[in-house]
Structure 1
Amino acid sequence: MAYHHGRLRETLIDEAVAAIEADGVDRLSLRDLARRAGVSHAAPAHHFGDRTGLFTAIAIDGFDRLTAVLEASGGDFAEAGVAYVRFATAERGRFEVMFRTELLRDDDPALAAARERAGAVLRAGAGAEAGDARANALAAWSLVHGFATLWNSGAIDADGQAPDELARVIAVRLFGSPERVTRASRGGDTPVR
């Protein structure tokens, strides 16, 4: 990927994500990243300092992107869960880094703010559901994060379904109305194959 003047930081993040998706997070080095981006070896260090800085920037970018897709789900609690899974399976490299705290500068204020923005969107949807909002949010996050992690690792036999289709059926079953569960099971809310 060639970078355009003024977009080097974004290009480096995108190249790092592509490398993570291809080779895994443990094989990424700043030197390899510079080679992939076609820039000097000093360029990644100039923008991120070190690998931890790079991974922190990837996580911030990931949380910002996650927030955008959650907001676009329209406030529906089950659809926010589907959006989460769609993001996690489409943005595997970012998703892999976002929750690996050992890779990140956990005290970075921009990271804390990005996490909080994404969390606030999830909590807002949980508050609209019956019952304890905190328990609802934790249950929903556990469900969709676990599902996405299992999907990304290849542990789920999808039987031809896309991850968001299968996630919709599961999310509606746990967090939807009884009528919506029936429709989802029959394919009314999702194109079940």
Structure 2
Amino acid sequence: MTSQRPYHHGDLRRAVLTAALDVVAADGIGAISLRDLARRAGVSHAAPAHHFGDKTGLLTAIAAEGYGLLADTLAEVEPDGVEALRELGVRYVLFALGNPAHFEVMNRPHAVRADDPELLRQRARAGGSLRGGVARVPAERRGDLDRAVLAAWSLAHGFATLYLSGGIPAPEDPAATFRALAGTLFAGPAQH
């Protein structure tokens, strides 16, 4: 008796993305195989290629989705000033810790199509949210906007990367730890 695979899958694209995220979380980007993902989704080996073209197309879709999720997360921050900056960083860190597979793919620019329109759009949304939050910090507290954006991003990204890689001991409360770090970086001029 042979098993028959259904011709139509309810949401093949989502099923393949979910399976790919599971593989990346467990074994890294290098373990991605469209054939294996098709098997996991219970469809023909050619079905994922129909949606993504190839492995690079799949990883590009994951990165675009990740940047979109990050942009949505950052857009939820409302306060102004240094508090907004801290909360943007907290949201960035919590996004990375809660979505490690997305985060890994998003930060592998050689693995994706850098000119993909959806990837560019979502990356710009996330970057705009970060830049907008930094711009809400008074200029006398943050200095040059471009440098402050780079500093804020570096702090949040570095903390998240060190945490995820095991490079630092996992703090009991990553959000509180990040708030303290951000407070150190953007504490303003020293009082004498």
TM-score where L is the length of structure 2:
0.85
Q: Distance in 2 between matches of 1:73 and 1:36?
A: 37
Which stretch shows the higher mean deviation, 147-156 or 165-174?
Answer: 165-174
- 1:40-70 CA distances to partner (integer Å, 9 max, x unpaired)? 2111111000000000000000000000111
Q: Which residue of 1 aligns with 2:5?
A: none
Identify unmatched segments of 5+ residues in structure 1: 179-193
Normalising by structure 1, report the TM-score: 0.84
Which blocks of at least 5 consecutive residues in structure 2 are unaligned? 1-7
* Alpha-carbon spacing, 1:124–1:37, altered in 2? closer, same or farther (3 Å): same
Q: Which residue of 2 aligns with 1:136?
A: 148
* Structural RMSD (CA): 1.7
Q: CA deviation at 1:99?
A: 1.6
Q: Which residue of 2 aligns with 1:96?
A: 104
Count matched residues. 174
CA distance in 1 between counterparts of 2:40 and 2:116 reads: 27
More off after superposition, 7-16 vs 61-70: 7-16
> Partners in 1 of 2:54 and 2:108 — Cα distance?
16
- What CA distance in whole angstroms lies between the structure 1 residues aligned with 2:18 and 2:175? 23
Determine what percentage of the aligned residue pairs are the same residue. Answer: 52
Following TM superposition, the consecutive aligned residue runs of length 4 or more in structure 1 with deviations greater than 4 angstroms are none
Q: Which amino acid aligns with 1:157?
A: P
Matches within 5 A, 1:43-122: 43-75=47-79, 76-122=84-130
Indicate yes or no: 2:42 matched with 1:33: no
Q: Tell me, yes or no, if the aligned pair for 1:106 and 1:112 is still in contact at 8 Å.
A: yes
> What whole-Å deviation, never above 9, does each CA across 1:114-150 have from its counterpart, x for those lacking one?
1101000000011112321111111000111111111
Find the counterpart in structure 2 of residue 171 from structure 1. Answer: 182
- How far apart, CA to CA, are the structure 2 residues paired with 1:145 and 1:53? 25
- Structure 1 residues 49 and 148, CA gap change in structure 2 (3 angstroms): same
Q: Which of structures 1 and 2 has the larger relative contact order (alpha carbons within 8 angstroms, sep 6+)?
A: 2
Q: 2: distance between equivalents of 1:20 and 1:45?
A: 18
Bigger CA radius of gyration: 2
Contact in 2 for aligned 1:82/1:171 (Cα 8 Å): no
The one-character-per-residue Cα deviations of 1:77-111 (angstroms, maximum 9, x if unpaired) are 11000000000111000000002111000111111
Whichever residue aligns with residue 29 of structure 2, its letter is V
- By how many angstroms is 1:33 displaced? 1.0
